[in-house]
Chain A
């Protein structure tokens, strides 16, 4: 099967927030192993577009979205895609520890697949540099440490089973608050994702260092 068939194709995307039209007739096409960088000033609709692609909010009119040649309503409801979405608010609870937060999030991500053991969680946390802090209450973690927790979720998604499905990351500004080491890790994780044949759409202000080259889409234009 050629890469073309497996592509995520989107066209006729119209998006408004309130009465303001943000995106008018956008189209893009991503093949497995590629990632799309969404650029644009604040308020240009990057986060809104990611949420709409997930199905959390609606487009102005029905866009033409297809994956693997089949029309889909949004990325969350596509059986051929395993979706990991990280918005601005990433969904961690202050009242739980980092470990517990990850455990819960994983039970959502891995729903329907074989569960991942605690061992794997611990090593993912180690790899991302927050192994020591894993049982601390989430509220005491710094912004950078919270980002690293988000990355450990991505690490585990790479390991998860489900080879019938393509892994897709929709990330909203994943490099915020990360130090150089963290950014390097992010870049290498992205590289791993693309090597596995997954794809990603990432809203980002600047470039992601050490990341493979990206298709770009500038919403500010």
Chain B
């Protein structure tokens, strides 16, 4: 059911492609705000570039989180999926992967534009993209837990942000740190491998937590 679920979610997304585009535009917009709010000296920009890219990516993924489960919960499809207890995990994983394909993946591929805006060199940009490719799935996984918990709550996305962002801080630290390490000539392997380890741990633990949160919300 994993593939069927993935296909379904992607098809739904393609038909409402504006949602995916919005995330990308938001990403570029946020990153462009920082230089406008300060003096755009090349040295300053180079120093804050990695951090700004990562914060913008984090906020963009946050923006895309509410749509992950809310629509399905609202129209009753989520409970139909829950009733299929054997297929449920496959379905959930399909949804998670579909979400990343429409948010984290495009962000990572567009990040070089921001890298150029901030004057990062080629290897730094490569490390930025690599870090985002590994790190954004983690953001999707953690965000899914927060989005699922948010289903139980009334109110808007502020609670979702409060639940999700503190948990994403390690990803932020290692992702941005990787680029800085690369620029400082220290090599980014350690950071990237820590991110990779984080991805493995998150892929094992997060779906379980997310599923529990959904069942609590449907109660």
Residues of A within 8 A of B (CB): 51, 54-58, 76-77, 83, 85, 87-96, 100, 104-105, 107-108, 111-112
Sample of 7 A–B contacts (CB below 8 Å): A89-B79, A90-B75, A91-B80, A93-B71, A95-B16, A104-B4, A108-B87
Is the CB–CB distance between B218 and A95 below 8 Å?
no
Chain-A contact segment, one of B7-15, B117-125, B170-178, B185-193: B7-15
B206 an interface residue at 8 Å Cβ cutoff? no
Instruction: Kindly provide the distance from the CB of A109 to the nearest chain B CB, expressed in whole angstroms.
Output: 8
Q: Does residue B41 face the partner (Cβ distance < 8 Å to A)?
A: no
B81 within 8 A of A: yes
Given contacts A56-B219, A111-B1, contact A93 B84 (CB under 8 A): no
B8 touches A77 (CB 8 A): no
Q: Which residue of A lies closest to B90 (CB)?
A: A111
A92 vs B218: C-alpha distance when bound (angstroms): 17
With A56-B218, A58-B219 as given contacts, are A95 and B12 in contact (CB-CB < 8 Å)? yes
Task: Please measure, in the bound complex, the distance between the C-alpha atom of A108 and the C-alpha atom of B11, giving whole angstroms.
Answer: 17
Is B77 touching A91 in the complex (CB atoms < 8 A)? yes
Indicate the member of A58, A77, A90 with the most B CB atoms within 10 Å: A90
How many whole Å from B7's CB to the nearest CB in chain A? 9
A176 CA to B8 CA in the complex, in Å? Answer: 28
Chain B interface residue bracket vs A:
20 to 34
Partner of B83, one of A83, A96, A104: A83
Q: Which residue of A lies closest to B83 (CB)?
A: A76
Give CA–CA (A58, B216) in the complex, Å.
10
Q: Which 9 A-B pairs have the closest CB atoms?
A: A89-B76, A91-B76, A91-B80, A91-B77, A95-B12, A57-B219, A95-B15, A111-B87, A76-B83
**Cβ contacts B42-65/A at 8 Å (1 or 0 each):** 000000000000000000000000
Give the residue among B4, B16, B83 with the most A Cβ atoms within 10 A.
B83
The answer, yes or no, to whether B85 is at the interface (CB within 8 Å) is yes
B residues contacting A by CB (< 8 A) are 1, 4, 8, 11-12, 15-16, 71, 74-77, 79-87, 218-219
Known contacts being A56-B218, A57-B218, A91-B76, is A108 close to B81, with CB within 8 Å?
yes
Residue of A nearest to B82 (CB): A56
Chain B residue at smallest Cβ distance from A51: B79
Known: A95-B12, A105-B80, A111-B1. A89 touches B85 (CB 8 A): no
With both chains docked as a complex, state the minimum distance between the C-beta of B127 and any C-beta of chain A, in angstroms: 37
Closest to A77 in B: B85
Chain A: minimal CB distance from B54 (Å): 32
Q: Are B76 and A90 in contact (CB under 8 A)?
A: yes
* Chain B residue at smallest Cβ distance from A92: B75
Known contacts being A58-B219, A96-B12, is A108 close to B76, with CB within 8 Å? no
The CA of A58 and the CA of B86, in the complex, are separated in Å by 19
* Contact of A56 with B86 at beta-carbon distance under 8 Å, contacts A89-B74, A95-B15 already known: no
Q: Is the CB of B86 within 8 A of A112?
A: yes
**From B11, B76, B218, contact of A96 by CB (8 A):** B11
Asked if A87 meets B76 with Cβ closer than 8 Å, knowing A56-B218, A93-B12, A107-B4, the reply is yes
| Contact present for A104 and B75 (CB under 8 Å) | no
- State the Cβ distance, B214 to closest chain A Cβ, in Å: 11
Given A88-B76, A93-B75, A111-B84 in contact, is the A104-B8 Cβ separation under 8 Å? yes
The answer to whether A108 touches B74, judged by C-beta atoms less than 8 angstroms apart, is no
Chain A nearest CB: distance from B97 CB in Å? 17
Note all chain A residues with C-beta closer than 8 A to B219.
56-58
Q: By the criterion CB–CB under 8 Å, are B83 and A56 in contact?
A: yes
Which chain B residues border A76 with CB–CB below 8 Å?
A: 83, 85
**Are B77 and A85 neighbours in the complex by a CB distance under 8 Å?**
no
Instruction: Kindly state the separation between the CA atoms of A55 and B82 in the bound complex, as whole angstroms.
Output: 9
> B83 near A54 (CB under 8 angstroms)?
yes
Complex CA gap A211/B77 in Å reads 28
Residues of A within 8 A of B16 (CB): 95
B82 engages A91 (CB within 8 Å): no
Question: Which residue of the partner chain, among A58, A83, A87, A92, contacts B79 with CB atoms under 8 Å?
Answer: A87
